[in-house]
Structure 1
Amino acid sequence: MRSGVMSTITIIRLPLGPFRVNTYLVICRSTGQAAIIDPAGEPQTIIDALDRAAATPCLILNTHGHPDHVLANAALRAALAVPVWMHAEDSGFFADSPDIGDLEARTGLTVDTVADRLFADDERLQLGAATIRVLHTPGHTPGSCCFLVSGHLFTGDTLFVGDAGRTDLKGGSLDRLIRSIETRLMNLADDTRIWPGHDYGDRPGSTMGRERKENPYITDFILDS
């Protein structure tokens, strides 16, 4: 578990589940209200981390609907009475995924790919004194989103450290992914912190400035085009 304390929010990173997806707890420092981003399994671990931080969960946010990122949605919804949010284009889109049966057998959890509430591009969600801005970034999936809060960008599987999400799965599109990065992320400040859905790079996180210089999906597909 890695955590960082910022001026308005505290961020706790929890690599969870069979695929070690980065689940994030984003906690408003002034109110203790918390958002759970991509609950990837091990719901008790998430609940224990919230308890240690004395945080009150208010939102469950999914960057996209792939089963490995929503694995603990149902368990946490039931345990915490907190609604699950997802983009409309991904809610239920992966209900027929062949991975679901295997994940349920391996973890004992029920995979629910359908959200309680749907957000749209550029929607703002309040988390205490902090505001979470939803950026629709289709490409990895039709409803993939990034969440921007207090200078920190939670990118799910849209943008990794030195890489980007695969586009060969259902609903994926390389053209849409590149366009999303170019039109929604490239205008962010260099010091915007990047918190990806998987630790696939040489470090768990990055900055937009570093990715602009080193990520081949930006340098080769966008800046050199």
Structure 2
Amino acid sequence: MKIYHIPAAPPLYTNTFLLVGENGLAAAVDPAAGAQEYLRLLEQEGARLTHILLTHGHYDHVGAVEELQRKTGAKVWLAPQDACGGELFPFTTPDNAYADGEEIRVDTDLAFRVIATPGHSAGSVCLLCGGLLFSGDTLFAGDVGRTDLPGGSWDTLRESLKKLCAAVTENVQVLPGHEEFSTMDRERANNRYLQF
């Protein structure tokens, strides 16, 4: 498996990713950067985008979804709670809804386990892929996502963080939706929001 970090330009500063499996099947996680960068990498790798996986539906995580879906035929995955439309979710019509705990297999060496983590938004999920945790806006390096937007709830996020810590016991790399990367061990030790 190969992974590419594709940061979205200001003012979004969203961390987005393209993962390519050994047989050339690929997944984009939170594709908010310009679609051309994903398409260029897919062509470079001789890969085919089959999955667009969204940690949540906020506008700063979905900017390239429509164009990528149109140009590649990839299927979009999003929790139904975040596919309700409105100001924060203007661009995304999912093909598939996540089920908590399900495995989404993209290629023989590329699979994601869904961990439902509502709180930042009603449908937020984290995606565990081997030693990588795509935490969206649920968990950041030293912080957590805001809960003052529609569908957000601090009490719900706190319960989701407890669930996430119980579900991810190994020291995986944390790849959040914004800012720098971290590890679960570092977050357990230093993130005040994970001190239960």
Deviations, residues 38-60 of structure 1 (Å, cap 9, x unaligned): 01131111111222233221100
Query: For 1:96, which of 77, 86, 103 is the aligned residue?
Result: 86
CA distance in 2, matches of 1:188, 1:123: 15
Q: TM-score, normalised by structure 2?
A: 0.93
5+ long unaligned stretches in structure 1: 1-8, 101-110
AA paired with 1:44? Q
AA paired with 1:205? F
Alignment match, 2:171: 191
Which SS does the other structure have where 2:78 is aligned?
strand
Query: For 1:167, which of 147, 167, 184 is the aligned residue?
Result: 147
Q: How many residues align?
A: 194
CA distance in 1, matches of 2:147, 2:155: 9
Q: TM-score, normalised by structure 1?
A: 0.81
Alignment match, 2:26: 34
Q: Any conservation in 1 of the 2:133–2:172 contact (CA below 8 Å)?
A: yes
Alignment match, 1:206: 182
In the TM superposition, 1:44-63 aligns within 5 A as: 44-63=36-55
CA distance in 2, matches of 1:31, 1:189: 29
Which SS does the other structure have where 1:140 is aligned?
coil
Alignment match, 2:156: 176
CA distance in 2, matches of 1:163, 1:190: 19
Deviations, residues 151-179 of structure 1 (Å, cap 9, x unaligned): 21100000001110000000101111111
CA distance in 2, matches of 1:195, 1:43: 20
Which stretches of structure 1, 4 residues or more, deviate above 4 A after TM superposition?
none
Which SS does the other structure have where 2:160 is aligned?
helix
Cα pair distance change 1:16/1:116, threshold 3 Å: same
Deviations, residues 64-122 of structure 1 (Å, cap 9, x unaligned): 01011111111111111111110111112xx221x67xxxxxxxxxx522212111111
1:27, distance to aligned residue in structure 2 (A): 1.7
Alignment match, 2:68: 76
Which SS does the other structure have where 2:39 is aligned?
helix
- Higher RCO structure, 1 or 2 (CA under 8 Å, sep 6+): 2
CA distance in 1, matches of 2:80, 2:190: 32
1:26, distance to aligned residue in structure 2 (A): 1.6
Pairing 1:114–2:106 present: no
CA distance in 2, matches of 1:154, 1:39: 13
Q: Any conservation in 2 of the 1:125–1:132 contact (CA below 8 Å)?
A: yes
Q: Any conservation in 1 of the 2:7–2:33 contact (CA below 8 Å)?
A: no
Which SS does the other structure have where 1:49 is aligned?
helix
Query: For 1:152, which of 115, 123, 132 is the aligned residue?
Result: 132
Q: Any conservation in 2 of the 1:35–1:60 contact (CA below 8 Å)?
A: yes
Q: Any conservation in 1 of the 2:15–2:176 contact (CA below 8 Å)?
A: yes
